[in-house]
Structure 1
């Protein structure tokens, strides 16, 4: 058996290799939810004038990969594998942008997990207000049910606001909130979602859900279901242990969990507790990019 230091070094190399690979989109360019102009997943607007007039991030924002490069990234909203069925407006590149304090706290949590043979994987970080607005528009369109079978199979879409799954503002827009999970090292690749493929419920057993290289947390990411509540009593055994592993590591690093979503954590104190930003998710939004 190789020495422990060699095994950890090899695992780190595997993490960096996977983290450097952005998820590819197979979605065709088109209109984003709510009728706003859409972009190909991870692509720029292609309009230099518009790009130059876009709002910029405060200097406190950084790209997570510069602070904690070993954290895996699967920025879902830059792809078509979302509850809307399309890439989300505002996600022009598959980047994790956060306030620097939040990124440093994630680095602390990551170091703790690496020592145990695990890694964090982020699904979503800073979220522009325009993205939140597009979710609101989508939720009001009761005819659009294309992703229901996977993301909200047991919830009537007309109740998404009342049940708290969709809101007009999100803590993500303040830059201190992150959606994430835990992956066992060495990380295995996750196949890309193919738009139009058969869907399976996000609350189904792991073998039936859309594949994810994370630990089994009992549901998929963005599952609009009470089974996603972090401490739901129906989640037991290994699934509960995995949720508690994430919860303990994140709380030790200064984060608070949103009890209705096992993946949702906010660093405290927030750098911008009363601000909701709207700069796009793109490296040009950052100071000195």
Structure 2
């Protein structure tokens, strides 16, 4: 994230007010979105959709900067969860936070283009791309667009830096042993993030030992702070009650433009 914490918070408020005025939530939405770093700067961020290391293989529409934006109640709950994990020698790491509807639309267009299988070997090696809608991996709308859903994992401290992904590098299936997968510094959860495979189901019986314990630590810690896990994805959690349970926002993920609060060009 670029710019100061206060600038990030100010921008999010201003951008929401300008871009969401026609929405049902009206201007009250502005004060409910914050930059996560303004609430807890210790949570590690690796926002996958701003770059190329994701199932699309390209930066996704609507992610103009690597900035985690969430509703204020969700951010406060994450801070409480992080405080507990820090005392145990762990940290949260977020992969995705608020997701504009235009990003979801990008996923839908990509899924319909059956010729583009650039990232298949890593993210959906066992699934035919034509099945992504039917099997529930891609949908027309996402809870992320309501602002209280996040994708995240746990990292053992002290945390190393994740090495840069090099486009075109050899891909390894997301269901392979952790020692063979892309090294993203997460504890071993049994699969990588965004793995389109039934092994990603939080309570899949094939996941045992330390992998299962790691998933349960994440789920137990977040559940205690009001988050609900999506059973099909060990990394996916939604804070309840959601401030905007029926509103799907579309303002872009970005920071201050030219040093001044307001929507980027």
TM-score by shorter chain over 0.5: yes
Give yes or no for contact 1:78–1:91 (8 Å, CA) kept in 2.
yes
Residue in structure 1 matched with residue 187 of structure 2 by the alignment? 215
Matching residue of 1:70: 42
Structure-to-structure mapping, 1:1-289, within 5 angstroms: 55=19, 58-284=30-256
Over the aligned positions, Cα root-mean-square deviation in angstroms equals 2.0
1:212 Cα deviation after fit: 1.3
SS at match of 1:59: helix
CA displacement, residues 232-260 of structure 1 (integer Å, 9 cap, x when unaligned): 00000000000000000000011000000
For residues 81-108 of structure 1, the C-alpha deviation after alignment (integer angstroms, 9 at most, x for no partner) is 0101001010000010000000000000
Q: Secondary structure at the match of 2:61?
A: coil
State the 1:58 CA deviation: 2.2
Q: How many residues align?
A: 240
Secondary structure at the aligned position of 2:219 is classed as helix
Q: Distance in 2 between matches of 1:96 and 1:205?
A: 29
Runs of 4+ in 1 over 4 A off after TM superposition: none
Using CA pairs below 8 Å that are at least 6 residues apart, which structure has the higher relative contact order?
2
Q: Which runs of 5+ in 2 are unaligned?
A: 3-14, 21-28
**C-alpha distance after superposition, 1:100-123 (max 9, x if no partner):** 000000000000000101000000
1:44 is aligned to: none
Q: Is this contact kept in 2: 1:54–1:279, CA < 8 A?
A: no
Shift of 1:54: 7.2
Q: Report Cα offsets for 1:189-226 as digits up to 9, x if no partner.
A: 11111001110000000011111101000000000000
Q: What is the CA-CA distance between 1:141 and the residue it aligns to?
A: 0.2
Following superposition, the deviation at residue 188 of structure 1 comes to 1.0
What's the secondary structure of 2:30's corresponding residue?
coil
